[in-house]
Amino acid sequence: MGVMVEQPLNPMQEPPEQKKHKGLFTKEKPDADIKSVSPELESTINRLRVLEERYTNLQTEVRITEENMIKRNKKLSTDIKTLTSDITEIRNEVNEVKDKILMIIKELQMGAKRADVEVLRKYIDMWEPMNFVTHKEVEDLIDEKLKEKG
C-alpha cells in the first residue's frame, strides 16, 4: 500500500485527472444525468408556479384586507365624530337641567316652611275669615235695620 502525497499544483500544469462533473451548462451532449434532472426540474418549476400563484393570491387578499380596513377606519372615524357630538350635546342638556334644578331648589328655599304654614292655619282657624263681612254687607245691614225701626 502506497501513501499518496499531494503535490502542489503548478499554474502551468493541468490538475490531475479527476472525475469530471457534467452540469447543465457544459458543452458536452446531454446524457442520462440530464434525463434524470429533467423530471426534478419540472417538479421544481411546478412547485414554483404553485408558490407564485399562492403569492399572488396572498397579495390580492392583503390588498382587499387593506381596502376593507381603510373603509372601516373611515366609518369608525365618522361614527366617533357623531358620538362625540352627541355626547357634547347630552352634556350641554345635562348642564341645563342641573341649572334649572338649582333654580327650583333656590325658589323652594325662599318659600314658606311647613311650620310657617301651620302657624298661618292656626291663625286663620282662630279668626274664621269666612264669618267676616264686607263694607257693602255692613251698609246693607245698617240700612235694613234702620228701615225696620223707622
pLDDT of residue 128: 83
Is 26 a member of any domain?
A: no
Q: What is the pLDDT of residue 25?
A: 56
The three three-digit cell numbers of residue 74, written as one number: 373611515
Question: Does the residue 144 lie in any domain?
Answer: no
Domain assignment present for residue 10? The answer is no
**DSSP 8-state secondary structure symbol assigned to residue 8:** P
What pLDDT is attached to residue 91? 98
pLDDT at site 1: 45
pTM of the model: 0.45
SS3 call for 2: coil
68 in a structural domain? yes
Which pLDDT score, from 0 to 100, does residue 131 have? 79
Indicate the residue type of 17: E
d(CA 46, CA 58): 18
Q: Profile the chain (150 residues) by mean pLDDT over runs of 10 residues.
A: 49 50 55 69 93 97 98 97 97 98 93 89 86 87 88
Domain count, the chain: 1
Report the pLDDT value the prediction gives residue 112, as an integer from 0 to 100: 84
With respect to residue 117, please indicate whether it lies within any of the assigned structural domains: no
- Three-state DSSP class for residue 111: coil
Task: Report yes or no on 42 lying in a domain.
Answer: yes
Domain assignment present for 94: yes
Residue 67's domain comprises: 32-111
Residue 91 counted as domain residue: yes
Predicted pLDDT at 92: 98
